[in-house]
């Protein structure tokens, strides 16, 4: 049972345009979400996070939006750059009290020059 889902395995975007990566979750008790970026042969790198008390968090070109009623979050990258080409994972912190993050399967973003 996949509690965190990234339904788009891949996405291609033209350089300079907006990239929108989506993530859905099933457990309404999740209250902290993160996005990670992963380049080949490297570990995931933390990008941005959002707490359930917010609906938006912005850091430079990266903005994460959280829609709790829809159990949906999205990562917007504006403007997209070729260096943003990577696999992006969303993750949710399990409410079980442990430090357990539940990850989605990832979306491979390709930014075309």
Class of residue 43 by CB neighbours under 10 A (exposed 0-12, middle 13-18, buried 19+): exposed
Using rule CB under 8 A, residue 105 touches another protein = yes
Binding mask 4-43 for another protein (x = CB under 8 A): x---------------------------x-x-x----xxx
Residue 49 or 74 having the CB closest to another protein: 49
The correct pick among 65, 79, 103, 108 for binding another protein (CB under 8 A) is 103
CA distances from 84 to 15, 25, 31, 65, 100 (A): 10, 24, 27, 19, 27
52 binds another protein (CB under 8 A): no
CB burial of residue 8 (10 Å; 0-12, 13-18, 19+): middle
Q: Which of 1, 53, 83, 99 binds another protein (CB under 8 A)?
A: 99
């Amino acid at each position: 049972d996949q509690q965190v889902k990234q339904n788009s395995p891949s996405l291609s975007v033209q350089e300079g345009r907006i990239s929108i990566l989506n993530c859905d979750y099933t457990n309404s008790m999740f209250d902290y979400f993160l996005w990670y970026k992963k380049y080949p042969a490297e570990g995931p790198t933390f990008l941005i996070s959002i707490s359930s008390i917010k609906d938006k968090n912005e850091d430079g070109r990266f903005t994460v939006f959280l829609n709790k009623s829809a159990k949906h979050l999205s990562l917007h990258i504006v403007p997209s750059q070729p260096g943003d080409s990577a696999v992006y994972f969303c993750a949710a912190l399990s409410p079980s009290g442990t430090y357990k993050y539940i990850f989605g399967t990832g979306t491979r973003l390709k930014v075309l020059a």
